[in-house]
């Protein structure tokens, strides 16, 4: 197994950034407080080498710029199952949030989009490279910029600007499951209908 670690400058919390990657390293430029481990786990061997018939989306690269706690960070997950570990507030959920944003164009935790941008910054960017089950490459990006006291969102797909966010949905279909989603079992039927509507909107814009 190939492993590499990169130590960044200590943050104000006195924590250095360290990444260990099973196949290829992630670049660190920020000194983020996150301590992340990207590696395959032997108990999950069935996930380490997905079969050619496996349907899904592979995350090849994720770049965050002024997003949440990250100044600038590039993640290149290893093939198969990946595990992220770190202390509270280190930025683990921010990675999931960024991936979800590239799929749904909205956050599952922020009420206002200005919460996504790093403190005191006026620009924010998320970029992702994905590969689908049909071996098609997908490059998506979302950006936010503050101008005249207002935040403006921009989106691009394969390097081209997307005029309507509705056209952005479904480019990379991802499904997020959080503790709040237990309501799908214990909640009212309206919760399940809302979830199905969201999943269908990622498949076809006709369901928006």
Is residue 13 in some structural domain?
Answer: no
Is residue 172 located within the same domain as residue 201?
Answer: no
Is residue 59 located within the same domain as residue 149?
Answer: yes
Is residue 162 located within the same domain as residue 202?
Answer: no
Does residue 65 contact residue 74 with C-beta atoms inside 8 Å? no
Q: How far is CA 62 from CA 19, 106, 127, 164, in A?
A: 14, 17, 6, 23
Please tell me the predicted confidence (pLDDT) of residue 60.
Answer: 94
Q: In terms of C-beta density within 10 A (0-12 exposed, 13-18 middle, 19 or more buried), how is residue 42 classed? A: exposed
- The number of beta carbons lying within 10 Å of the beta carbon of residue 79 is 15
Is residue 97 in some structural domain?
Answer: yes
Interatomic CA distance for residues 175 and 172, integer angstroms: 10
Q: Domain span at residue 101?
A: 18-176
Is residue 164 located within the same domain as residue 193?
Answer: no
Question: Is residue 127 helix, strand or coil?
Answer: strand
Is residue 195 located within the same domain as residue 164?
Answer: no
Is residue 122 in some structural domain?
Answer: yes
Is residue 190 located within the same domain as residue 136?
Answer: no
The pTM assigned to this predicted structure is: 0.67
Please tell me the predicted confidence (pLDDT) of residue 106.
Answer: 87
Please tell me the predicted confidence (pLDDT) of residue 6.
Answer: 29
Q: Which of 19-28, 29-38, 94-103, 185-194 has the highest mean pLDDT?
A: 94-103
What is the number of structural domains in the chain?
2
Is residue 139 located within the same domain as residue 167?
Answer: yes
Mean per-residue pLDDT for 148-162?
Answer: 90
Is residue 140 located within the same domain as residue 70?
Answer: yes
Is residue 166 in some structural domain?
Answer: yes
């Amino acid at each position: 197994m190939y492993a590499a670690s990169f130590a960044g400058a200590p943050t104000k919390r006195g924590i250095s950034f360290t990444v260990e990657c099973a196949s290829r390293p992630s670049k660190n430029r920020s000194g983020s407080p996150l301590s992340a481990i990207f590696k395959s786990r032997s108990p999950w061997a069935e996930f380490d080498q997905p079969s050619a018939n496996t349907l899904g989306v592979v995350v090849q690269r994720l770049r965050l710029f002024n997003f949440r706690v990250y100044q600038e960070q590039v993640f290149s997950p290893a093939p198969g199952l990946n595990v992220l570990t770190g202390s509270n507030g280190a930025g683990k959920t921010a990675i999931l949030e960024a991936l979800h944003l590239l799929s749904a164009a909205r956050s599952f935790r922020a009420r206002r989009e200005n919460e996504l941008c790093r403190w005191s910054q006026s620009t924010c960017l998320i970029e992702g490279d994905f590969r689908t089950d049909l071996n098609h490459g997908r490059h998506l990006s979302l950006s936010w910029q503050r101008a005249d006291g207002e935040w403006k969102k921009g989106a691009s797909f394969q390097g081209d600007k997307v005029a309507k966010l509705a056209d952005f949905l479904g480019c990379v279909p991802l499904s997020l499951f959080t503790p709040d989603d237990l309501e799908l079992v214990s909640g009212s039927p309206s919760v399940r209908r809302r979830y199905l509507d969201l999943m269908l909107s990622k498949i076809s814009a006709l369901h928006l």
